Amino acid sequence: MKNLWGRRTKILGLVALLLAVVGWMRWNPDPPSHPPDPVGVLSSPVPEFTFTDQKGKAFGFKDLKGKVWIADMIYTRCPGVGSPMTANMVRLQERLKKEGLAVQLVSFSIDPMYDSPAVLERYGKNLRADFENWKFLTTPSEPVMHRFLQTAFGSPISRKTEVEEEEEPLISHSSCFYLVDGRGKVISAYNGIRPDYGQIIRDVRSIQ
């Protein structure tokens, strides 16, 4: 009987502990804040650049000095993660505005020979991007854009060459959102497919 009573006591104790943990999680839905994690080899600032935005205007590193910005890589013909990432960036833009945080968003096209300013503008409008603080950037040279992005964010980009004529191009690229501070240093990278909006907002606050 003593052993049976002891086992029952242990079981009841475990149940009570489990209920306490569940209760704590309900009242504390957000994980505790932590400092942004540096990514890759990105201790030096993003290289200076000047590309063309969706309005056909020059936009570059000098326009971002002193600003916190979030970048990603997209291309409008992407058959995979491109549109979901941009849709998630739209949600992030809305969350940042609601929190009163001034953050510039920058999407770099990795298919710039096709993604003209007009194509990028149409793409952004279709996904309800607010161009007030969001630039979609392109350039006449794909190698220039790819080299810049690989240097800036430490992420390889490669185009699949064996594609049927009727197929969309396949270009492998990072699916991350990158947080960059006012000095041009990459602070953190986040999953752009399933972003943790709360963590991004906390990290933005920590560097503003």
From the list 36, 80, 63, 51, the residue with the least C-alpha distance to 149 is 51
For residue 119, give the 3-state DSSP assignment. Answer: helix
Contacts of 17 (CB under 8 A, 6+ apart): none
Position 12 scores a pLDDT of 41
Q: Which residue has the higher pLDDT, 7 or 152?
A: 152
Residue 205 has pLDDT above 90, yes or no: yes
Return the beta strands (E) in 55-185 as ranges.
58-60, 69-74, 104-109, 134-137, 158-159, 171-172, 176-180
pTM tops 0.85, yes or no = no
CB-count exposure of residue 135 (10 Å: 0-12, 13-18, 19+): buried
CATH number of 50-207: 3.40.30.10
* DSSP-derived secondary structure letter, 79: S
The model's pLDDT over 145-201, given as tens digits with 9 standing for 90+, comes to 999 999 999 888 878 754 455 555 678 768 899 999 999 999 999 999 999 999 999
Q: What angle do CA 80, 81, 86 make, to 5 degrees?
A: 130
Task: Spell out the domain ranges in the chain.
Answer: 1-30, 50-207
- Which tokens belong to 166? 């009727």
User: Would the annotation count 78 as a binding residue?
Assistant: yes
The model's pLDDT over 54-92, given as tens digits with 9 standing for 90+, comes to 999 999 999 999 999 999 999 898 876 657 889 999 999
Residue 37 has pLDDT above 60, yes or no: no
Distance CA 208, CA 204 (A): 6
User: Would the annotation count 146 as a binding residue?
Assistant: no
